[in-house]
Amino acid sequence: MNKNSPKIRNSVINPGILYVVATPLGNRDDITLRALDSLRQVDLIAAEDTRKTGGFLTLHGIKNNLISYHEHNEAERTPALIAKLQKGVSMALVSNAGTPTVSDPGYRLIEAALENHLSVLPIPGVCAATAALSVAGLPTDSFIFAGFLAKKKAKRLRQLNELASEPRTLIFYESPRRILRLLNETIDVMGDRRAVLAREMTKLHEEFIRGRLSEIQKGLAGRNNIKGECTLLVAGNDRAQDQSWPMVRRQIEAAVLAGQNSLSAISREIAATSGIAKNKIYGEALRISKELDGG
């Protein structure tokens, strides 16, 4: 360092402040110097998993007080943690990976802190959504973070339908056990769009699969075991598809008139070539079929 350069001061931790600290997704070195200083200096660390956070702190030579704070105990723990902050305890909130409260626990604590006129400050760093977006090759000027969709199918499909007309890039989180389901449902609702699947980011088996949703689905379907949390990025609605609908409708009508394939097969084939949602094509094919039958 140039001797004339100003000295870099360690982060100053103040009493009674809640610090929201981002931690690595997988690679332990993906953490800022300020975050490490903060984790050393705070009086208490509220962690989603104390064992995982404890192991990470040990790797960096940090010893500190940990308390568990996760989705199953946050309602119970929040009042006690707020009381500590009010007494002047400095506190860090961390999740298992990435930035806390982004599809992770912590919202209740932050909301309660603000309601009690306490200061909440970010110690920024890694986030899976923006990390994947930065290398996706999809538009980044505007995007929607959808996170994890609902567990119940009806609500999940309603969420996908609400997002289907969005021109912005869509970002989803999903577990490896349910990623194929998400891919299939997204194809049915939105059509076969361009997409990127990011898996095991920053870890040993890091992988990015790019292509159409159907190509990603086929690539994963052939695997015996899918591991690692997944981030799925889907291209926004292309308005050009709306303009091509009259041509696609004529194609549907011709296929129904030919009567050589079932409506499901027609929908699947035309969706694959047009990129328009299969359920929209099926609905039109069904309507045409009923008209031909005099229904």
| Burial (0-12, 13-18, 19+ Cβ within 10 Å), 195 | buried
Task: Give tens-digit pLDDT for 75-114.
Answer: 999 999 999 999 999 999 999 999 999 888 899 999 999 9
pTM over 0.85: no
247 Cβ neighbours under 8 A, 6+ residues apart: none
Q: Flag whether pLDDT at 7 surpasses 50.
A: no
Residues forming a β-bridge with 68: 47
Task: Give tens-digit pLDDT for 122-153.
Answer: 999 999 999 999 999 999 999 999 999 999 99
CA pair distance 235, 238, nearest whole angstrom: 8
Q: Give residue 1's pLDDT band: very low, low, confident or very high (50, 70, 90).
A: very low
Residues forming a β-bridge with 290: none
